[in-house]
Amino acid sequence: MKTSALTSKIILITLFFFIITFIIPFSLNNTQAQTQEQKELKVWCIPNIEEGAEFYFSPDGKSLIGNAKLNDDATHQVYTFNINGTNILRINNKGEDACSFYFPDGKRLLYTSTRDNLDMPKGNYSDPNDYPQGAEIYSCNLDGSDVKRLTDNKYYDAEVSTTPDGKWILFTRQIGGKLDLWKMRPDGSEEHQITFTPEWQEGGSFFINNETIICRAWNFKDQSQRGMPMSIFTMNSEGSDRKQITDDNGTNWAPHPAPDGEHFVFVKVLPPHNYEIFLMSLKTGEQTRLTYNDAFDGFPSVSPDGKLLTFDSNRDAKVGEKKLRPYMMDISSFNLGVKKN
């Protein structure tokens, strides 16, 4: 009887420690994950695009353009598709592509590619110390036809967008390792540099309106360090009246303006290395967190009506897998559409 009682006691103690060690932490982790999911607005994965990133809406908000690697692609190419993942169309299949955009009239596309400089080193679009030299900017019809080369040099020309009225193209150029913002007309004419900041590396720029630019920049001395500090800036259309609008020492990256002209979305890296998407007011500086996930969430952009956010994430990827795919979030509750007079 004593032996039986002792055995029962040992079993109970063992069971107690098992619950403390495994069951309770698992339950807490599940509860924490559920709480995080509940904080997010409605999010869904765009079907059929299993690998891709940096997508932007068409002017009517019905389609997206960006870089994807699908089917037999050896590398990332420019694609367009409907926001429900249908009508997938590869725009270019030569060289390696990046950074694409719709013209505001919805009739032509812009994209970056190495298609005409295949003899140059491949480079790496993710490493500013090795950006692909010979990446040029092109425009084409919606089906990829009538390709027009807009830049013609051996530099890195990328991170392309336009003014809302379509009269100017805004892009980043790297010369001798230095990044600056440039502008040109839709036909490639009147090309000129608008930022001259040896200490700052500007890029990822968009027009808030026809007169105001928003971009990210990092200090050249900080380049390539892990957790590299980045700040968001605004400036006028020719690069003057420059203002730093994020003032912490962290990484503030990938801004994209909302159509109301008063807000923008961007990526903030939270400790230790958690990429999350935030909404910020240009008027008050107030920041609102939009994503709550331990995975990478980045490259946000807002639809022309202000109701949808698209972003890229590996939140549903297999363990150890880093490839990104596009998601959508319903942000209609923020009322970020064009303000009526």
For 34-51, what is the mean pLDDT? 84
Query: What is the CA angle 122-125-130, rounded to 5?
Result: 65
| pLDDT at 197 (0 to 100) | 96
| pLDDT at 224 (0 to 100) | 83
3-state secondary structure of 230: strand
Confidence of residue 25 (pLDDT cuts 50, 70, 90): very low
| pLDDT at 319 (0 to 100) | 84
Number of H helices, E strands in the chain: 2, 24
| pLDDT at 111 (0 to 100) | 98
CA distance 257 to 208: 6
For 251-276, what is the mean pLDDT? 97
| pLDDT at 226 (0 to 100) | 82
Q: What is the pLDDT of residues 219-236, one digit of tens each?
A: 999 998 888 999 999 999
| pLDDT at 225 (0 to 100) | 85
| pLDDT at 193 (0 to 100) | 98
| pLDDT at 13 (0 to 100) | 41
Average pLDDT of the chain is 90
For 257-268, what is the mean pLDDT? 98
Note whether 209 and 261 are within 8 A (CB). Answer: yes
| pLDDT at 26 (0 to 100) | 39
CA distance 82 to 84: 5
| pLDDT at 321 (0 to 100) | 83
Residue spans of the domains in the chain: they are 1-39
Residue 32 has pLDDT above 60, yes or no: no
φ, ψ dihedrals at 189, nearest 5°: -85, 170
For 313-340, what is the mean pLDDT? 93
Residue 88 has pLDDT above 90, yes or no: yes
Residue 122 has pLDDT above 70, yes or no: yes
Q: DSSP letters along 239-307, please?
A: S-S-EE---SSSBEEEEEE-TTSSEEEEEEEETTTEEEEEEEETTT--EEE----SS-EEEEEE-TTSS
Give the tokens for residue 14. Answer: 């063992």
Per-residue DSSP letter, 199: T
| pLDDT at 340 (0 to 100) | 82
For 308-328, what is the mean pLDDT? 93
Name residue, tokens 């495994």: 22
Confidence of residue 29 (pLDDT cuts 50, 70, 90): very low
Look at strands 200-209 and 192-193 and give their pairing.
unpaired
Residue type at 262? Answer: E
Q: What is the pLDDT of residues 2-19, one digit of tens each?
A: 444 444 444 344 434 433
φ, ψ dihedrals at 195, nearest 5°: -115, 140
| pLDDT at 168 (0 to 100) | 98
For 109-125, what is the mean pLDDT? 97
